[in-house]
Structure 1
Amino acid sequence: MSIALLFAFAQPGFSASYKIDPMHSEVGFTVQHLMFFKVSGYFTDFEDTIEADSQARTLSAAAAVIKTTSVDTRIGKRGNHLRSADFFDAAKFPEMIFVSKKVEGSGNDIKVYGDLTIRGTTKPIVLSGAFLGENKDAWGNVRAGFAAKGMINRKDFGLTWNAILESGGVTVGDDVEITLQVEAIKS
């Protein structure tokens, strides 16, 4: 899906549109494993657009498309399992999509309310974040930094696979922390 199609709703009046620089950005997650250890991973293929006012350090909108086939946890077997029908079912659902609906706050206290779609299921989520600033790089491009995090319950999106442990616990926790570190180039 095109990010431009997702972003057609952007609110007028803000100073600039920023496109993510995937070489200097990270879309990550952390989930509990075996009831006590946290496993982290990230996605390597994504695109994002952010509408923001650098002077006020505010956002008006954000949209992202993340390729589920790009999930990486540094363990090939685990990555393959996450791409399988037990989790993301990447063959059937190749993209996760986020579209903001409302943004509040500025600077280091921004809340982005939006819809996240995983496996064809769309649910509202809230990301807490910051507009980290804007600088010109050595090649004359204006870049801005954004950070955000949020929490979802994976079962809300149909990611229900689990295995019961002998001790009575489960292999995979339900709560997934999402973390975003974004460097974007002003259009």
Structure 2
Amino acid sequence: MTKYIVDQSHSHIGFQVKHMMVSKVKGGFDSYTAEVEATDLADLTDANISFEFDVASINTKSEDRDNHLKSADFFDVAQYPTIQFQSTNITKSSDCYEVAGNLTIKGVTKQVTFHTEFNGKGTNPWGQEVYGFEAEAKINREEFGLTWNAALETGGVLVGKEIKIIVELELNRVQ
């Protein structure tokens, strides 16, 4: 098995959630680590994939909102500073992969499946092979203890339950 790491300058780990039932708030994590081990990244079926996100690095382009997300109302970074993902099973379906694994948020672990596309492989100007992937998954935030919300006068709630996780990766072989 060969080890690969994420090129963070060419990757993004993000999310989006409905806001006030009419728009979407998007954000991401600026600090994370990831490791992928595979025989060949062009075929992920035997890969071992792990991620760890520094929750304090959450960035939604609003300092007040980011501070609220870090508080005990949401992620409680003082008690739960990281989010982890560890793959458990990967299957190939046509040109896509279903990457199933354990996602742990606030001490709660649930099985989540990322629908993953291999975008291809290339060689950068320094002669290093790079591999590109995109993946998405949807979770119910309340299942992970992220239950804070506020009712709106017009009906509905401030924050939607469904979170879309969006991963865009460029991976490099560990030299």
Q: Which of the five TM-score ranges fits, normalised by the shorter chain?
A: over 0.9
Q: How does 1:23-62 map to 2 (within 5 A)?
A: 23-54=9-40, 56-59=42-45, 60-62=47-49
Q: Equivalent residue for 2:75?
A: 88
Mark the CA change 1:43 to 1:56 in structure 2 (over 3 Å): closer, same or farther.
closer
TM-score by length of 1: 0.87
RMSD value over aligned CA atoms?
1.5
Q: How does 1:63-78 map to 2 (within 5 A)?
A: 63-78=50-65
**Structure 1 counterpart of 2:82, one-letter code:** E
Distance, in Å, in 1 between the alignment partners of 2:152 and 2:54 is: 31
Distance, in Å, in 2 between the alignment partners of 1:53 and 1:132 is: 18
Count of residues paired in the alignment: 173
Deviations 1:117-161 (A, max 9, x none): 001110110100112222221112221111100000000100000
Deviation at residue 55 of structure 1 after TM alignment: 7.1
Q: Equivalent residue for 1:138?
A: 125
Q: Is the 8 A contact 1:107 1:131 kept in 2?
A: no
Mark the CA change 1:141 to 1:107 in structure 2 (over 3 Å): closer, same or farther.
farther
Q: How does 1:13-24 map to 2 (within 5 A)?
A: 14=1, 16-24=2-10
Mark the CA change 1:55 to 1:170 in structure 2 (over 3 Å): closer, same or farther.
closer
Deviates more, 1:56-65 or 1:174-183: 56-65
Distance, in Å, in 2 between the alignment partners of 1:55 and 1:81 is: 38
Mark the CA change 1:125 to 1:55 in structure 2 (over 3 Å): closer, same or farther.
closer
Deviation at residue 54 of structure 1 after TM alignment: 4.0
Distance, in Å, in 2 between the alignment partners of 1:143 and 1:22 is: 12
Deviation at residue 45 of structure 1 after TM alignment: 0.3
TM-score by length of 2: 0.93
Give the secondary structure class of the aligned counterpart of 1:87.
coil
Distance, in Å, in 1 between the alignment partners of 2:173 and 2:50 is: 15
- Of all paired residues, the percent bearing the same amino acid is 39
Q: Is the 8 A contact 2:84 2:104 kept in 1?
A: yes
Provide structure 2 residue ranges, at least 5 long, that are not aligned to the other structure.
none
Distance, in Å, in 2 between the alignment partners of 1:153 and 1:92 is: 21
Q: Is the 8 A contact 2:41 2:131 kept in 1?
A: no
Deviation at residue 107 of structure 1 after TM alignment: 6.9
Q: Equivalent residue for 1:112?
A: 99
Provide structure 1 residue ranges, at least 5 long, that are not aligned to the other structure.
1-13
Distance, in Å, in 1 between the alignment partners of 2:152 and 2:132 is: 42
